[in-house]
């Protein structure tokens, strides 16, 4: 790429490709410039600094995974769809789990649009915009927390141990071969067998419970 063709969108797209492949730790202005075949200083005509770049990357990803037209959707539909969209997003771009957690990155124009979409749905519970926003944050926090175990391997600087390698103290208890002394509160779990529920199943089970809590708190029938 020649420098006259350099653009902010090309820089952001390249930065996303690097972060997807190697994580945020691998992201540097020099590496982006090398990938684009330009001088490092030329990037600063389009992005102020790395912080500005990460904000632009985060907003770009939010724009690539928009929530759909809400026509005909209930508030519960919106919560479920937000989980479906974000679950996919986090698996394809694990680093966004970190940047979405930082407000100066997560609330660009597209991030605010996504928040508004969820808030508008939650207002069906006859709550204020402020309370609906708090509820939306609870939903997003739950989704990101449920996604973390699935994408954590990709977030580690040294990810030589796959997240799929799920041997751990709890699983050993469930398998009936505890590695460590079994706490009294977990004694009944010894040898009980590992649940067949997937991480995605657990995501939606917990989300249903969260929505049930919203409904009870605000007297909703659905």
pTM for this prediction = 0.88
Rounded to an integer, what distance in angstroms lies between the CA atom of residue 194 and that of residue 188? 13
Q: Please count the other Cβ atoms lying within 10 Å of the Cβ belonging to residue 213.
A: 12
Spatial contact of 143 and 203, defined as CB atoms under 8 Å apart: yes
Over residues 124-134, the pLDDT tens digits come to: 999 999 999 99
Over residues 66-95, the pLDDT tens digits come to: 999 999 999 999 999 999 999 999 999 999
CATH architecture, domain 69-217:
Orthogonal Bundle (1.10)
- According to CATH, the superfamily of the domain at 3-47 is Homeodomain-like (1.10.10.60)
**Domain residues of the chain, as ranges?**
3-47, 69-217
Per DSSP, 125 falls in state G
Among 188, 95, 191, CA closest to 148 = 95
Q: What tokens appear for 66 in the block? A: 């928009």
Domain 3-47 identical in fold to domain 69-217 = no
Q: What tokens appear for 30 in the block? A: 């020099």
């Amino acid at each position: 790429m020649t420098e006259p063709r350099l653009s902010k969108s090309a820089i952001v797209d390249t930065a996303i490709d690097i972060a997807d492949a190697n994580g945020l730790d691998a992201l540097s202005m020099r590496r982006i410039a090398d990938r684009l075949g330009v001088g490092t200083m030329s990037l600063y005509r389009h992005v102020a600094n790395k912080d500005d770049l990460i904000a632009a990357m985060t907003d770009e990803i939010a724009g690539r995974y928009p929530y759909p037209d809400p026509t005909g959707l209930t508030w519960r539909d919106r919560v479920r769809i937000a989980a479906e969209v974000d679950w996919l997003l986090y698996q394809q771009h694990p680093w966004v789990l970190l940047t979405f957690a930082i407000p100066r990155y997560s609330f660009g124009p597209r991030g605010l649009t996504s928040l508004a979409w969820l808030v508008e749905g939650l207002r069906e519970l006859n709550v204020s915009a402020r309370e609906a926003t708090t509820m939306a944050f609870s939903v997003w926090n739950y989704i990101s927390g449920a996604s973390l175990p699935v994408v954590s391997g990709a977030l580690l600087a040294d990810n030589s141990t796959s997240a799929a390698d799920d041997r751990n103290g709890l699983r050993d208890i469930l398998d009936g071969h505890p590695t460590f002394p079994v706490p009294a509160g977990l004694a009944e779990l010894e040898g009980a067998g590992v649940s067949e529920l997937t991480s995605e199943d657990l995501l939606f089970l917990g989300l249903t419970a969260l929505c049930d809590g919203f409904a009870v708190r605000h007297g909703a029938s659905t």
